[in-house]
Amino acid sequence: MNKKNEDELIKEVKEIFSGHLEQQGFRKTPERYAILEEIYRRSDHFDAEALYIHMKNQNYRVSRATVYNTLDLLVNCDLVKKHQFGKNLAQYEKSYGYKQHDHLICLDCGDVLEFCDPRIHQIKSMMGEVLKFKVIGHSLNLYGHCHGACSRTQNPGSGEQEPKKETMS
Amino acid sequence: MNKKNEDELIKEVKEIFSGHLEQQGFRKTPERYAILEEIYRRSDHFDAEALYIHMKNQNYRVSRATVYNTLDLLVNCDLVKKHQFGKNLAQYEKSYGYKQHDHLICLDCGDVLEFCDPRIHQIKSMMGEVLKFKVIGHSLNLYGHCHGACSRTQNPGSGEQEPKKETMS
DNA sequence: TTGTGTGCAAAAGCTTTGCATGTTG
DNA sequence: CAACATGCAAAGCTTTTGCACACAA
C-alpha cells in the first residue's frame, strides 16, 4: 500500500473511531488516536508490549495502561482483532479493510500466514443452528511447520512459538 | 461411562503413559500417575490451578510445579489437549478415546459445547497443500450466546468468559 | 468546572525457575 | 549412588488496578 492510500485509510478509521467514541460517550483523547494511527501504520501481528515500546520509540508519552485500554476500545469497535496463538500472550492486528481470514502458525519459527476458506462460514451457521447457539465470532488456527526458510527448531515437540522482541532504544 | 469402563480406560492410559515415559527416558513417579488418573476421572475442561486444588482436596501431596510439568508431558503424549478459550488461562481436557472435536464457547456464561465437522479436516489438508505447510494440528473455537438457561450477561460486548473457581476445603 | 482519561507504579494472576531434599533406576 | 523429579517459594511476564494529576466536554 502506498503512502497516499495509507493516509486515506488512517483518516477513514479515525472517523469510524470518532463515531464509536461519541456513540458510547467516551472522550476523544490524542493518545487514543495516536495509538490507532500507529497500529494502522504497523503491519501484521503484534502484542501489547511491542506496541507500547513502539510508541515509546516514536517519543509518544503513553503508558501501558492506556495502550491496553485503547486496544480494548478498538477491539470493541472491530477496528482491531485480538488473537491467542497458543501462548499466554495476546496478539493483535488491524482489521478494517481486510477481509475475514484465519491463521496458520509455524511451530518452529512463529511465522503467521493468513488464509480464507468459505467452509468455515458454513460450519458456523450450521453449528449455530444445530446447537441452538447464536454464533457471533470464531477463531481458527492451524499449527504446523513451514517448509521454507525456517529451518531452526525452537521448541521441538511443543506447541509454542517465540515472539520477536522489539527493544527500547 | 460406568465405573468398570472408567477403570479400564485409566488402566489403558496409564500403560500408554508408561510407554512414553520409558521411550523418552523419563521416570515413572507416583505423582505423574496420580495426576493422570485424576484428569481421567474428571470431566470436561479444567485449568491447572483447578487440577492442583482438586489434587490437594483429595489429600495428594503435590505442588503446582509438578502439576504443570506433568500436564506438559501429557500434552506431548497426546493424552491431554491444551486450549486457550480467549483468556490468558490455559484450559486442558483429556483426549484419549475421544474423537477429535472443536469448541463452541458461550460469551455470557462461559459454557463450552463440543462439535465435530469433517469440513475442518478438508480445510487443513487443502491449506497445507496450497501454502506448502505441514499442518499437524488446529484449534477452532466458535464464540456466541447460548439461548439456554444462561441468561446472565457477565461481560457484555467483551469476548471473555468467567472461569468457575474451585475452592480449597 | 466536573468527571473521565492518563501516567506511573504497584498489585494481581498464571506459569516458570532455583534450590534443597527425596526417590527412581 | 547418581541423576532426575519433587515441593516450596520466589521470580517472571502479561495484564489490571489505584491514585493523583491532566484535560476533554
Among B26, B107, B117, B126, the strongest candidate for a mutation testing the A interface, having the largest count of A CBs within 10 A, is B117
- The pLDDT tens digits for A120-132 are 999 999 999 999 8
CA A70 and chain centroid, separation: 13
Written as one string, the DSSP assignment of A3-38 is: HHHHHHHHHHHHHHHHHHHHHTT----HHHHHHHHH
CB contact under 8 A, A86 and B139: yes
- CB contact A151 to B (< 8 Å): no
In angstroms, the CA A91 to CA A46 distance is 5
| Strand D contact nucleotides, protein CB < 7 Å | 4-10, 13-18, 23-25
**Distance in angstroms, CA of A13 to C1' of D21?**
30
Q: B168: which DSSP letter?
A: -
**Distance in angstroms, CA of A25 to C1' of C19?**
54
Select from B66, B8, B63 the least CA-distant residue to B41: B8
pTM of the predicted model as reported, rounded to 2 decimal places: 0.85
Cα atoms in the 13 Å half-sphere on the side-chain side of B72? 13
CB contact under 8 A, A135 and B126: no
pLDDT confidence of residue A1:
61
| Strand C contact nucleotides, protein CB < 7 Å | 4-10, 13-18, 23-25
CB contact under 8 A, A139 and B140: yes
- The pLDDT tens digits for A43-92 are 789 999 999 999 999 999 999 999 999 999 999 999 999 999 988 999 99
Mean pLDDT within B148-156: 47
Mean pLDDT within B137-157: 69
**Interface size between A and B, measured as CB pairs under 8 A:** 135
CB contact under 8 A, B147 and A158: no
Buried b / exposed e across A44-73, counting CB within 10 Å, b at 16+?
ebbbbebbbbbbbeeebebeeebbeebbeb
